[in-house]
Every structure is written in C-alpha cells, then in structure tokens.
Amino acid sequence: MNSTETAAVVLRAHRTDVGQRPSELLEVRVADQRPIGDGEVLVENIFQQIVAVNADLMFENPGLPLPAFEVGAPLYGPAIGRVVESRSDTAVGTVVQHNQGWRDLTAIASNAVFPVPDGVFPGPEYMLNQGVTSFHGMVDIAGVGAGDVVLVSGAAGGVGSIAGQIARARGAALVIGIAGGPDKCAYLTEQLGFDAAIDYKNEDLDARLDELAPEGITVFFDTIGGTQFETAVRHAAFGARFALCGALAGQIGGGHGGHPRLDIMTAIVKEIQIRPFTTMHTPEQIQAWIGHYVPSFSQGTITFPHTVLEGPLGRTITALDELLAGDHRGNLIVKLAN
Ligand SMILES: NC(=O)c1ccc[n+]([C@@H]2O[C@H](COP(=O)([O-])OP(=O)(O)OC[C@H]3O[C@@H](n4cnc5c(N)ncnc54)[C@H](OP(=O)(O)O)[C@@H]3O)[C@@H](O)[C@H]2O)c1
C-alpha cells in the first residue's frame, strides 16, 4: 500500500442473527485514498476503539440512535490518529480524536477532529474511554451517592468498569460487580476498588446477593439485561433506582436469558425507578465527565481499564469477535500504527 491508498474494514452484508460472529461479515479492502480538500486534514489512525455496539450497527435496522453500517462501506467509530496532511488550521503532527476509524487513513473536515490535550493522560488512547456513558448513567440517571448499595452488571466491560469506580468515588456503601469468570472478578476487587464481585458463570447470583446485600440493592447499573436484570428486581430495596444502559444478553445472545421479563408486581410493590437511558454525548454530559475524571485519573481514584491489542487493521475484526465472547476486560483498543 502507498500513500494514495488506504485499507478499511468494510461490511460485506448485514447481520441477520445475533448468533453471527462479526468476522463472518467483515473484511479489509484496499481502496484509493481521495485527496483532501480545503478545510480538511488527512489522518493516519493510531488507535481504534472496539465496542459492543459495533455488532448492533451491523444490522440493517439496529434500532439505535446511530446510523447502521452500510454494506460495501467502511465502518465508522471513535479512533485516535495523527494529522499527516492539512489544508486547514490544524497542524500536521497534531494527534486527534474523531469518528472515522476502522481504516488506516481518512480524509476528514478539520472541525470534525478534536485535538488530544497534551500532558493530561498517560497516552492518547485514554481519550477512547466510555466514561461519559458511565458517568451519565451512574450520576444523572441513578443519582448514586453516599450509603448506596450498588450492583453493576458487565462490571469488567468498558462501561461497567468505570461505572463501578464512579459509585465508589461518590461514597457508595457497597459496590458489587457481576462478571464472567474468576479472573475478571479478582480484577474488580483487587484493582478497581469494587467491594465484591459475583462470577455469574460459576456462582448462584441469587444466593450471593442474599449474602452480600441482605437489605437489598439501592442502585443497579445494568449493561446486560437478561436473567441478571430479573435477579436484580428480586433483590431491589424499596425505591431502588435502576439505570438501564445496555442489554448485551439480548444483543449478543449466548444464553443468560436474552431479553428479560419484568415482574411488574414486584416492581410496583418496591416502587423501583427503572430508567433506561441513551447518552447523546451532549457538551454538558462530556463536560460533566471531563470535570470529574481529569482530576480522578491524575489522583489515581479512577483508572481506565483497557486492553490494547497490536494491529494491523485486520486485527480489529477478530478483536470484535473476542469482545463479544468476553475474552478481554475493560475497554478494547487495537493499535494500528506508532
Ligand atoms: N445507553 C447508552 O448510552 C450506551 C452507551 C454506550 C454503550 N452502551 C451499551 O452498554 C453495554 C456495554 O457496552 P460495553 O462497550 O461496555 O461492552 P462490554 O462490557 O465491553 O461488552 C462485552 C462484555 O459483555 C459481557 N457479555 C457478553 N455477552 C454476554 C451475555 N450473553 N451475558 C452476560 N454478559 C455478556 C462479557 O463480559 P463477561 O466476560 O463478564 O461476561 C463481555 O466482556 C452495551 O449494551 C452497549 O450497547 C449503552
């Protein structure tokens, strides 16, 4: 490949079943790289974010507030890159975040790229954290605070791993994470400050919640749905707040209940406040998270759990399969260039 060509991950056909692995429908294609126009920059991508929603966007009608991936076109999504040519005010060499990932090079308007601030993070890939969603759900939706008994599902995943840390930082009395496997559970309690972790693959969720939270949970941050949601309803304290962020058991399948059934009578008697939410990344939401996490990261009260896999670009495809299979913890990132 030379500088007038770029490789991109392209959707071959829409997904039609949650059982299909993304890699069955994605491939790397090399194409001509169009020259940049006035007001544009050419960005060489360095880090690609891999998230569960990528698999949803492969459906023709994902039912999300995001456009579906188009057949025959490169995927899109957050990435970090370096400006290698510019016909704008943005200087060559600037490291930027933008939404045209899944390709080696991209021509993009300079007002659609956001320079990564110098000296704030240990590395530019930290900009790919999903804390805006974790913060919005845990603080604005669930209103977590001192004394709360908090349960987080998908707690070793990209959103959940930060959500639990936010609950801890805001004075929750107890933070319990649910994750698959002993290694992920140990990671939650030993490195991320969770008080307890439940391995839903090997432990009885009901029995463990009886033991850990006999008075019930007051906050549930849910990324999974399925039987984990149904169990949380049974263990809710009166007036508990549920922030519904994701539904991976239904989105991905693989057992664990698919989409859950709500025991409405129990929800009524306990007056559970069930609030599904979508984070639109408004300037206010981004600012609220930045105001909180910049000091927290530098003070070490919140860490950015992430796994970086080495490229090249084709590695993004297998990485997405692996994310859905639960092979990695924290946010998943593929390094495409130095
Ligand atoms: N509402 C919003 O605004 C918003 C914004 C961003 C993301 N989201 C949603 O939030 C959810 C989490 O996103 P993420 O990027 O942080 O994903 P993630 O947690 O990194 O997703 C992968 C993890 O999900 C778990 N998992 C996969 N299939 C499962 C199943 N059938 N049952 C139980 N657990 C399963 C696995 O962990 P284990 O190994 O522990 O099982 C896997 O590691 C997704 O549903 C995403 O669409 C919502």
Expressed as residue numbers, the domain containing 152 is: 131-276
53 pocket-lining for ligand 1 (C-beta < 6 Å): yes
pLDDT band at 218 (very low <50, low <70, confident <90, very high): very high
Same domain, 26 and 83: yes
Asked if residue 187 belongs to a domain, the reply is: yes
Residues 32/323, Cβ–Cβ less than 8 Å: no
Strand (E) positions, the chain?
Answer: 5-11, 26-32, 40-50, 79-86, 95-98, 105-109, 114-115, 149-152, 174-179, 196-199, 217-222, 236-244, 273-276, 306-310, 331-335
Query: What is the CATH number for 50?
Result: 3.90.180.10
Please tell me the distance between residue 327's alpha carbon and the centre of ligand 1 in angstroms.
12
279 pocket-lining for ligand 1 (C-beta < 6 Å): yes
Least confident of 90-104, 162-176, 243-257: 243-257
Q: What is the DSSP string of 212-262?
A: H-TT-EEEEEES--HHHHHHHHHTEEEEEEEEE---HHHHH-SSTTSSPPP
Task: Report cis status (omega within 30 of 0) of the bond before 312.
Answer: yes
Total domain count for the chain?
A: 2
Residue 60, SS3 per DSSP: coil
155 pocket-lining for ligand 1 (C-beta < 6 Å): no
Ligand 1 atom nearest to 244, measured from its CA: 1
Residues 94/61, Cβ–Cβ less than 8 Å: no
Cα of first residue to Cα of last residue in the chain, in angstroms, is: 17
Same domain, 213 and 135: yes
Same domain, 72 and 139: no
Q: Would you say residue 2 has pLDDT above 60? A: no
Asked if residue 235 belongs to a domain, the reply is: yes
Mean pLDDT of 66-80: 97
Same domain, 245 and 154: yes
Mean pLDDT of 317-335: 96
Place of tokens 């007051």: 218
Cα 297 from Cα 287, distance rounded (Å): 15
Task: Say which amino acid occupies 31.
Answer: A
Place of tokens 């693989």: 254
Please tell me the distance between residue 180's alpha carbon and the centre of ligand 1 in angstroms.
11
pLDDT digits (tens, 9 = 90+) for 268-282: 999 999 999 999 989
Q: What is the pLDDT of residue 276?
A: 97
248 pocket-lining for ligand 1 (C-beta < 6 Å): yes
Asked if residue 283 belongs to a domain, the reply is: no
What is the CB-side half-sphere exposure of residue 27 using CA atoms within 13 A? 9
Write the CB contacts of 73 (distance below 8 Å, at least 6 apart in sequence). 10, 11
254 pocket-lining for ligand 1 (C-beta < 6 Å): yes
Average pLDDT, the chain: 94
302: nearest Cα among 174, 168, 160: 168
Number of other residues whose CB lies within 10 A of the CB of residue 164: 31
Nearest CA to ligand 1 atom 31: 249
78 pocket-lining for ligand 1 (C-beta < 6 Å): no
Same domain, 124 and 145: no
Asked if residue 294 belongs to a domain, the reply is: no
133 pocket-lining for ligand 1 (C-beta < 6 Å): yes
Write the CB contacts of 291 (distance below 8 Å, at least 6 apart in sequence). none
Residues 175/153, Cβ–Cβ less than 8 Å: no
52 pocket-lining for ligand 1 (C-beta < 6 Å): yes
Same domain, 204 and 255: yes
Asked if residue 271 belongs to a domain, the reply is: yes
CA dihedral 130, 136, 142, 148 (to 10 degrees): 60
Nearest CA to ligand 1 atom 38: 180
Given 276, 291, 323, which residue is the final one in a domain? 276
Residues 308/334, Cβ–Cβ less than 8 Å: yes
Query: What is the CATH number for 268?
Result: 3.40.50.720
Same domain, 109 and 139: no
Same domain, 121 and 197: no
Least confident of 28-32, 234-238, 290-294: 290-294
Same domain, 29 and 116: yes
Q: What is the pLDDT of residue 12?
A: 97
Answer with the residue of higher pLDDT: 108 or 119: 108
pLDDT digits (tens, 9 = 90+) for 288-325: 998 888 888 878 889 999 999 999 999 999 999 999 99
Asked if residue 291 belongs to a domain, the reply is: no
pLDDT digits (tens, 9 = 90+) for 152-175: 999 999 999 999 999 999 999 999
134 pocket-lining for ligand 1 (C-beta < 6 Å): no
pLDDT band at 3 (very low <50, low <70, confident <90, very high): low
Please tell me the distance between residue 32's alpha carbon and the centre of ligand 1 in angstroms.
35
Asked if residue 174 belongs to a domain, the reply is: yes
Asked if residue 297 belongs to a domain, the reply is: no
Same domain, 230 and 311: no
Write the CB contacts of 88 (distance below 8 Å, at least 6 apart in sequence). 38, 39, 40, 41, 109, 110
Q: What is the pLDDT of residue 298?
A: 79
Same domain, 67 and 98: yes
Pocket test of ligand 1: the residue of 151, 159, 221, 307 to mutate, having most ligand atoms within 8 Å of its CB, is 159
- Angle of helix 226-234 versus helix 205-212 axis, rounded to 10: 40
Nearest CA to ligand 1 atom 36: 326
Pocket test of ligand 1: the residue of 178, 248, 322, 331 to mutate, having most ligand atoms within 8 Å of its CB, is 248
Number of other residues whose CB lies within 10 A of the CB of residue 298: 12
Helices (H) and strands (E) in the chain, counts: 10, 15
Query: Could you give phi then psi for residue 151, rounded to 5 degrees?
Result: -120, 130
Cα 81 from Cα 338, distance rounded (Å): 10
Q: Does residue 277 come out as left (phi exceeding 0), alpha (psi in the -120 to 50 range) or beta?
A: beta
193 pocket-lining for ligand 1 (C-beta < 6 Å): no
Same domain, 144 and 117: no
